[in-house]
A and B are shown apart, each in its own frame.
Chain A
Amino acid sequence: MGKKSQVIERDAVVIRFSGDSGDGMQLTGTLFSNTSALFGNDLATFPDYPAEIRAPQGTVGGVSGFQVNIGHNEVNTPGDYADVLVAMNPAAVRANAKWVKDGATIIYDSDNFTEKNILKAGYKADPFAEDKLESHNLIGAPIATLVKEALKDMELDQKEILKTKNMFALGIVYWMFDRELEYTESFIDDKFKKKKPKMAEANKKVLRAGYYYAETIEALTPFKISPADIAKGTYRNITGNTATAWGFLAAAEKSGLELYIGSYPITPATAVLEELAARKDLGVKSFQAEDEIAGICTTLGASFAGDLAVTSTSGPGLALKSEAIGLGVMAELPIVIVDVQRGGPSTGLPTKTEQSDLFQALYGRNGESPVVVVAASTPSNCFEYAFRAAKIALEHMTPVILLTDGYLANGSEPWKIPSMKDMPAINPPYAKYEGKEFLPYERDEKTLVRKWAVPGTFGLEHRIGGLEKTIKGTVSYIPENHEKMVRMREEKVQRVDVPDLKVFGDDKGDLLVVGWGGTYGHLYTAVKELREQGYKVSSTHFNYIKPLPKNVAEVFAKYKKIVVCELNGGQFVNYLRMKHQQFAYLQYNRVQGLPFTVEEIKENCIKILEGK
């Protein structure tokens, strides 16, 4: 639309939208991301919001942010620092001051920089001076005034008018990146047209006003981020939680089973339940239970009755589900428990990310209680790992814990849509009536998996339960039987076939960076950049925690040093120390409720390499 004389061409740009939790920043960020995805950029997003729905207005605690990294090349993280910050109030500047690059563009709503708001944000008088941001490209736009002007003929009340401010900011950013408005306009139409046609008109008007404002002021330099050169195919944007839900749907379809989800709402896992509750068209039986315990117990019941049964939760919920997971281990029923990890312990940091439930997933139950533990590592591969977790559960008759985290759950990225015909088959070990008594704990010699006799099947009536039992399913207190069954259950899990570890970089060198789960993008990007700088660094990433891949020792042996990086106090590194004692492990840990930055990983690796 506008003529742009000077353009900055870049491979990637990080944009952060930031404002009060009522300012609509999550929506603004999502719309910008989707538009950029449709344009053809690769991207990764990172919503960062407070636990309070509406924290006190104008305070730093109430700031809600959405960061997106868009690129012409492969993008694996939402970026450490922002090139463009949209700040709707002084608190947003304060909260993000340390997250902007030198020379970044900061677009702020100058109408909101009143004395009162400046003080509320913890500044004395001049936010930009006090946070040493004066050398940045500061663009103060009187957004409130401008939207009032734009909508003066529309007979809307003040509150309604001010609600459109985020669209003005979005319009500015669209101009900066030369984006089409079409996607956003049709989104606005879908959202408002039926119930509030006037608001649809107002939002569209303000969006365009922002766009033209940016063009007119001639203070902004537009960016050019060409479409990314990525594999051909049909793409869509997807968040980790949606991908998880869809992975289960795919597993249900492949296995020919109905999907049951019994869950209790909990941040940041709720969207898994919400997404599946909306999928009645694919036959999902969603059950919002009275509590976390009922969530998993109805899931166990549904599994006993023959469904693909899953439950979704976060750390505190996993704690409540422990006893029932043990029942699933004892009864040897196929269930998947998704733990979308958040900061802990206790209520901890509900909206923030962490990897600190690893030990809970592995060991957080009474008795010797082995389960398979799998971890997704990108928002979109939550689909694959949910599918894999369901496949393992169904084919090995065992509970599987799928670990994701707040960062993966809410983050999004473009995803090349897979085809169901390419997904592997799922074959549960159904029992058949063979004219004789069914023995519920008779096992396959190779896999040690028992058969699944679904209630309703003639001739296979049997009883299972939480008491130790014999092959026949009868209760047994015989000491040798108990030990045999304990070892058998562990061995059954160990015999689950998982793929070998893969190495990024050379298969030998000075340093191997080891990670698991949601830190993949940051660790990969750091190692890639270090390699470009000539360092002999490689990385490997674990998606299978229990059982571990078989080639761990083989891979580890070829590096002089190994550093395990994780967002906890060092759980995986200690697990590795226990399982593969022959190696010396270095560790790098952060527990701030935030993802790693690529920069800190690189710094730490360089320190190790230089022997500091």
Chain B
Amino acid sequence: MAEIKNTQYTAKDLKSDQEVRWCPGCGDHGILTSIQKALAELGVPKEKYAFISGIGCSSRFPYYMNTYGFHSIHGRASAIASGVKVANPDLMVWQITGDGDALAIGGNHFIHLVRRNIDINVVLFNNEIYGLTKGQYSPTSHKGIVTKTSPFGTIEEPFKVAELVIGANGRFFARTIDYNINLSTEVYKEAALFKGTSVVEVLQNCVIFNDGIHSNVTDKEVRDDRTIILHHGEPMIFGKDNDKGIILDGLKLKVVKLGENGITEKNILVHDAHEPNPGIHYMLAGMKYPEYPVALGVIRSVESQTYDSAITEQIDKVKSKSSIKCVDDLLHSGSTWEV
């Protein structure tokens, strides 16, 4: 992001005049609110934002933002967003996508975006179902789920978003819950400011076709005990009474109770989101209820050179060394002769 003036906005300024057409109670409403809030707090001039989406319920998102937006075709948002950012690195580019759009039809583009580390903020709405086509299983649906295209239950293993991201040498991975506005706003801001591809997985609820798919960890009554919000530099303590923590037991993570078996805060792992070795991040992102709490917040955030800055640098470097300064120079370069 180059030379951006600070601009004062409220979330309302980021709303377009379009009527929001998601189902009542859909998790998408919460995501929209959080992103508008995060953007207002970032203070980037709104003409610098480009929201790119593919196809699916989530992909209607750009229409509701009073920014530049491009609602494209199924699965291709990662590629389109890559072109936008490479062409114009001054823009802050957001890709809005779902589990089908990003991981099924768009899986190839998604992993290559992550691998290239182009400075794009990907918000992946994971509701583990196809909504817009009315209820078929997705690549993140758990094995055995009964849907319209799996009337006897699926027989395939799901993708885990974090595993794909880390497997593709991902630099930033965070997870949040659609209706946790405060946590989400913080996470989106961190994703926005991170230089490189940042992937935020949102545990999103589809009220129509997969209602309650995340509720055993996201419901208000249970979420404090069944999730852990990670903060860089802070011990991994969670629970309604802040009495549980995570330690490294041999090569595995383990949930412990503070005060039991002589465990004190000193024994608890301190979260280091900036550690380049992804091993611990992989384990944290992979924690599953009931054995573990589900990790939320910024799990991995390791900056390295972005594709968009590297291409600009390379162009500048080659330009400074080349004797070809314009097309006329090029046309006359090499072997030519006079008639």
Contacts and interface: CB of A to CB of B under 8 A. Distances in A.
A531 interface: no
Given A260-B87, A299-B83, A456-B91, A327 B327 contact: no
B331 A301 contact: no
Contacts of A324: 73, 76
Interface string A419-431: 1100000000000
A454 B319 CA distance: 26
A237 B84 contact: no
Interface string A271-289: 0000000011111110101
A459 B47 contact: yes
Contact of A419 (B70, B328, B335): B328
A294 B106 CA distance: 10
Contacts of B141: none
B83 A455 contact: no
Interface string B313-329: 01100110110111110
A456 B48 contact: yes
A149 to B, nearest CB: 32
B63 A475 contact: yes
Name the prevailing secondary structure of the A interface residues: mixed
A323 interface: yes
A233 B91 CA distance: 45
Interface in B50-100: 50, 52, 55, 62-63, 65-73, 76, 79-88, 90-91
B45 interface: yes
Nearest to B318: A280
B86 A302 contact: yes
Given A302-B84, A304-B84, A467 B76 contact: no
B50 A465 contact: no
A597 B327 CA distance: 36
B313 to A, nearest CB: 10
Contact of A231 (B311, B326, B334, B339): B339
Interface residues of B, number: 57
B332 A417 contact: yes
B152 interface: no
Interface in A211-266: 227, 230-237, 246, 249-250, 253, 258, 260, 262
Contact of A464 (B71, B332, B336): B71
A298 B79 contact: yes
Interface stretch (A34-42, A96-104, A194-202, A564-572): A34-42
Nearest to B47: A458
A387 B314 CA distance: 26
A346 interface: no
B189 interface: no
A298 B71 contact: no
A280 B318 CA distance: 6
Interface stretch (A85-93, A163-171, A305-313, A336-344): A305-313
A234 B338 contact: yes
Contacts of B325: 281
Interface in B286-339: 311, 314-315, 318-319, 321-322, 324-328, 330-332, 334-339
A466 B50 contact: no
A474 interface: yes
Interface in B32-52: 45-48, 50, 52
B319 A235 contact: no
Given A298-B86, A463-B16, A475-B63, A283 B336 contact: no
A11 B24 CA distance: 81
B79 A289 contact: yes
B274 interface: no
A418 B336 CA distance: 13
Contacts of A420: 326-328, 331
Contact of B318 (A250, A281, A294, A299): A281
A417 B80 contact: no
Nearest to A458: B47
Contact of B72 (A289, A305, A327, A458): A327
The residue among A34, A281, A285, A460 with the most chain B CB atoms within 10 A of its own CB is A281
A185 interface: no
B339 A34 contact: no
A459 B83 CA distance: 23
A183 interface: yes
A388 B72 CA distance: 27
Contacts of A506: none
B118 to A, nearest CB: 10
A331 interface: yes
Contacts of B318: 280-281
A158 interface: no
Contacts of B76: 293-294, 297, 324
A456 B47 contact: yes
Given A246-B327, A456-B47, 15 more contacts: A234-B332, A258-B87, A281-B322, A290-B109, A297-B76, A297-B79, A303-B87, A304-B50, A455-B48, A456-B90, A458-B45, A463-B16, A463-B69, A474-B18, A474-B63
29 contacts: A34-B335, A37-B335, A234-B332, A234-B336, A235-B337, A235-B339, A236-B337, A249-B330, A258-B87, A262-B79, A281-B321, A282-B327, A283-B315, A287-B83, A293-B76, A294-B112, A297-B79, A298-B80, A301-B52, A301-B85, A305-B85, A309-B87, A323-B73, A420-B327, A456-B88, A456-B91, A461-B46, A463-B71, A465-B69
Interface of A: 34, 37-38, 40, 183, 227, 230-237, 246, 249-250, 253, 258, 260, 262, 279-285, 287, 289-291, 293-294, 297-307, 309, 323-324, 326-327, 331, 416-420, 454-467, 474-475
